[in-house]
Chains A and B, each alone.
Chain A
Amino acid sequence: EAGVAQSPRYKIIEKRQSVAFWCNPISGHATLYWYQQILGQGPKLLIQFQNNGVVDDSQLPKDRFSAERLKGVDSTLKIQPAKLEDSAVYLCASSLLGKMNTEAFFGQGTRLTVV
């Protein structure tokens, strides 16, 4: 079974530029998460999708971050414009829907450096 795929693995941009990350969850997983992991910290949830609907985006900085999940499968996370403090690893995860607290499977993340 293929895992959660993310691209790119690394990205370096200048502040005020825009950037987009892509995630392909495990086939059949209805729930998709984007987490932000700043160096030296634990991951923090940015947004959670159930199929193509948003379940929780309470910690998403909506003035600069946006995310979508087209057709309930792939997802993209965009930052525009980027700030220095956005430097972090962006992790995508997916899980099955319908069973209580099923395991979330994570991708390898995208490391973003804003200079």
Chain B
Amino acid sequence: AQTVTQSQPEMSVQEAETVTLSCTYDTSENNYYLFWYKQPPSRQMILVIRQEAYKQQNATENRFSVNFQKAAKSFSLKISDSQLGDTAMYFCAFSRAQIKAAGNKLTFGGGTRVLVKP
């Protein structure tokens, strides 16, 4: 079974500054996907960024980037130039790499609350 751990319950950051969220995971799989999801007060999970384990290059989406360390089983998220709209819960998630639907379920960490202060 896979486990995902987020050790920071809450992080605060000043607007326009940078914040890094930590995530570690445990799996015996060699090929898998890692995700960061954002959950604002509306409760709808929104995909922020995705990393494929067989790709060494770290994924980047505008102000969001990851530091993927496969050997250490670490997957951190960096939010640059933080904006007030980034205030939300952030969840790290794991999915096995399977073509068939059976492998696509997500295992989530406990979440980190990010508060961006003006």
Chain B residue numbers with a CB within 8 Å of A50 are 101-102
B44 touches A55 (CB 8 A): no
Instruction: Report the contact-size class of chain A (Cβ under 8 Å from the partner).
Output: 20 to 34
Residue of A nearest to B37 (CB): A106
Instruction: Report the contact-size class of chain B (Cβ under 8 Å from the partner).
Output: 20 to 34
Chain B residue numbers with a CB within 8 Å of A95 are 101, 104
Chain B residue numbers with a CB within 8 Å of A107 are 44
B101 touches A101 (CB 8 A): no
A75 at interface by CB-CB < 8 Å: no
Residue of A nearest to B9 (CB): A40
* Chain A positions 2-39 with a Cβ under 8 Å from a chain B Cβ: 30-31, 33, 35
Residues of A in contact with B (beta carbons under 8 Å apart): 30-31, 33, 35, 40-45, 48, 50, 55-56, 89, 91, 93, 95, 97-104, 106-109, 111
Residues of B in contact with A (beta carbons under 8 Å apart): 4, 33, 42-47, 50, 52, 91, 93, 95, 97-99, 101-111
